Structure formats: C-alpha cells, structure tokens
Amino acid sequence: MKSDNVTTVRVELAERAYDIAIGGGLLAETGARIARLRPKAKAVIVSDTNVAKFHLESCERSLGAADIKSHKVVVAAGESSKSYATYQQVMDAILDARIERGDLLVALGGGVVGDLAGFAAATVLRGIDFVQIPTSLLAQVDSAVGGKTGIDTRQGKNLVGAFHQPIMVLADTGVLDTLPPRQFRSGYAEVAKYGLINDEKFFAWLEKNWQAVFKGGPERIEAVAASCRAKAAIVGRDEREAGERALLNLGHTFAHALEAATGYSERLLHGEAVAVGMVLAHKLSVKLGLCSEADAARATAHLAAVGLPTKLSDIPGSLPGSAALIDLMGTDKKVEHGSLVFILTRGIGKAFVAKGVEIGPVRALLDEAGRGA
C-alpha cells in the first residue's frame, strides 16, 4: 500500500531536526524510510498488546522488505506500563538483542509506548536513535512530537524521564481507524488544545469540521498536520520547556491531579482529563477576571459536543475534595518555588503562563465544580 496525501512537518532543532510525515498508508513505508536515514541499522520494535494485534506484523514486514533485521518487545497496554518494572523489561530486551549505538528503536503505539520506548532509547548505551510511529490520535498530535520521554512513579506522572528527540515521526492517519471511539475522542482534546492556546481560527475550523475529522479523510490529515505544525513551532523555539513550551500544558495541572486521583486508570483517559482541565482553566480565568464567560462557555460547548467530559461529575466514581486535589497538583512538574503554575487564558487562542496563582480562587473553583457548578 502506497501512502497518499502525505504532509510533511519539519521540527527545526538544528542538527537534531527531523520530519513528521502525516498521511494514510505510511506504516507500510516504515522500512524504506528508515533505511534511507539509517542504512544497515538493526531495530527493536516496542509495542503493546493492543497495538501489536493490528499493526506489529505490518511493521515487521516493512522492515524485513528493506533488509532491516528487527526484534520486538510487547508490553501490557495501558498507563501501568510506564513503570520501572516495564522499563527494565524493555531495556533487557534491547540488550538481549545486542543492539549497538548505530541501531535504533521503533516506538509503535500510543503515548505510553512512545514515552517508554523513548526513555529507553535515551538511556540504553547512553542514547541511541529512535523512530516514533504513533498509533493513537493523542500520540500523533502531541506525545510523539517534541522529545519528552519518561515513566511514572508512585509520586506522580512523568517525573522520571529525559528529553530525547526522535529522528523521524510517521503519523499514519489510517491506523486511527482501529482506535475505539473513546480513545479517538480522548486524543481530540489535544487537537482542540492547539486552537485554545494560540489559534482561534483553527478552533473555529474545528467547530465546523470536527465530525469530518472523526470520519477520516483530508480533514483528519489537516487536523493532525495543523496540530503538529503548532507543536513543532513551539518546540523549535523552546525545546526544554524553559518558557513558551509550557503553554502546551493548558489544562494539564488540573488534569494530572485528576488522573492521579483516579489511579491512572480507565476511569479517566489522559485526553478526557485534559478536556476537564481545560474547562477548569477557562473557568479559573473567568474567576480571576481574565477571560469572558462567553469564551469559556464556547470552549466548554465544543468539548462537550464531541463527547468529552467537561465536569467533575462526568468522571465515574467519587473524587477527593478540593484540598486533596490541590495537594496532588503540588506533586506536578508545573510547580515553581512551591507555588502552582497554571496556563490561563484571556480568551479563545489567548493562553499564557501564570505563575504564583493564589490557592484561594483555585480551591473555590474546585469546591464549586465538586457541587456541579
């Protein structure tokens, strides 16, 4: 199968720059594209049990057709695989395969696989190349781009990791057809995020075209490409999140606390947590007199229209109170000198980094949200 309608987005990072190829049928070109970049390299494919059922054989076949010898390691699907134990499993498999510094890893999966495999690539033999083949919408538009890798610990999410850029990203939009609808909606939250951060025109386009994005075709490719362009531009200017890149965390301070409160489980997927978090960020901005109620309502309405949760009551099961959620926010990476850092907004497409936000309004907001307000 030959890829079609391929869009290429360049991530400009000097000698570590790389391309994101976006379009249908790209999985079948994995071997040929890797061979052009790293001829004669061996590869270890890291995947999970869900993705392997659909796409591992195609990836292996493509690598074999390009005379690339490959090994594989398949981990359990789900956030629980971003752990020390699974990291060791992957590292052992890489070393057992006698991988050398000139060889590479292929991360075939969603955000969990990409983060885990990327961290393994950053650390084995003090760093080897890796290729991202994201198979979820969330990974294609967010986690596979930008070089953040890592695992979770009992203290919180993504607290152990490294910045390690891939040498290539292959975003095959056709593989998204195998995603369960809930997973696709979860990824869409990160697509909407780019419009809410700094591109009101893109958000308006999504309001009109989101159904076509869900169905597939050129609108899906355009939505993924627009998201990748937005992230690539920010990463190119601020690779290690010293400033502007923090904008990509819109909604995430709330989201990571909610994920921790629900045990990083199927109760609340990452994108679902981000959707609720973005609504809370807009409501906090309204409470602080920064954003109009109309803009906050518009953001909420779009996320609700696509079927994403927008209220704490949309999350199954009970949640801790505001004090406990704020305590969980304190373990997040977005803390500076003991004060919480939020991404707030002055309206659609007008997000900014807010440091030293007072706890009082946050607690009041969470109390209101807990009552369904």
CB of 213 closer than 8 Å to CB of 206: yes
Cα distances from 272 to residues 25, 89, 193, in angstroms, run: 28, 29, 12
Active site residue 200: no
- Mode of pairing for the β-strands spanning 339-345 and 335-336: antiparallel
Sign of the four-CA dihedral 87, 150, 179, 303:
positive
E strand or H helix that includes residue 196: helix 181-198
Using DSSP, state whether 343 is helix, strand or coil: strand
Residue 371 designated active-site: no
- How many angstroms from the chain centroid is the CA of residue 191? 10
Q: What is the dihedral of CA 164, 185, 57, 68, to 10 degrees?
A: -20
In the annotation, is 60 catalytic? Answer: no
- Residue 241 a catalytic site member: yes
Buried b / exposed e along 72-93 (16+ C-beta atoms within 10 A): bbbbebebebbbeebbebbeeb
Pick the catalytic residue: 164, 252, 282, 333? 252
Catalytic residue check, 252: yes
Q: Which of 38, 82, 157, 231 is catalytic?
A: 231
Catalytic member of 157, 239, 249, 333: 249
Q: Which of 270, 283, 298, 302 is catalytic?
A: 270
Asked if residues 131 and 106 have their Cβ atoms less than 8 Å apart, the reply is yes
Q: Which of 60, 79, 190, 219 is catalytic?
A: 190
DSSP secondary structure string for all residues of 124-174: GGG--EEEEEE-SHHIIIIITSS-EEEEEETTEEEEEEEE---SEEEEEGG
Residue 249 annotated to the active site: yes
Q: Which of 2, 98, 126, 371 is catalytic?
A: 126
Question: Which residue is catalytic, options 164, 220, 245, 282?
Answer: 245
Distance CA 129, CA 101 (A): 8
Q: Of 219, 239, 241, 272, which residue is the catalytic one?
A: 241
Quick one: which H or E segment has residue 5? strand 4-11
Please say if 164 is a catalytic residue: no
- Look at the block and give the residue holding tokens 């996320």: 303
* 231 classed as catalytic: yes
Active site residue ranges? 126, 148, 190, 231, 241, 245, 249, 252, 256, 270
